[in-house]
Amino acid sequence: MSIMTPQLQQSWTQVSALLEIGNEREYDSALERLNSLIDEVGTDERHPLYSFFDTLGTVVHAWEEQHHPMPQLDGVDSLRFLLDEHELTQSDLPEVGTPEMIAEILCRKRELNARQIRALSKRFGVSPSVFV
């Protein structure tokens, strides 16, 4: 006895096509679908499309991990990124140290210490591991 009735087979063929990512064009389409689902479903786990939303998110994440991996940043690179992202200068971080001290950190002449890492983590609202 097959559970794959003709109706189920037809439905699955249509749905599975929405979950396939084989190239960048299909990836872009999947991202558009995912963004639309985010707008419609949100965090409502009882929404009829929630399991589709969750599955598509998993498929997109797997594609990104394989084809668009995030570069590994060290603490200095992370600090540079956050300074740039928040349009801050070295003198905007007095809780970390003097501008000269921060310049030495950014030039890799000095390492971040535990106190500075805690201060940066709190300042930017990120895990301390970002700066290790």
Q: Would you state the pLDDT for residue 7? A: 86
- Residue 113 pLDDT grade (very low, low, confident, very high; cuts 50, 70, 90): very high
pLDDT for the residue 53: 92
Q: Which two tokens stand for residue 56?
A: 């598509």
**Residue range 32-42: mean pLDDT, rounded:** 90
Q: Six-digit token pair at 65? A: 């991990």
Q: Is the dihedral of CA 61, 66, 71, 72 positive or negative?
A: positive
List the domains of the chain with CATH numbers: 6-67 (no CATH), 75-131 (1.10.260.40)
Has residue 1 got a pLDDT over 70?
Answer: no
Region 7-23: mean pLDDT is 88
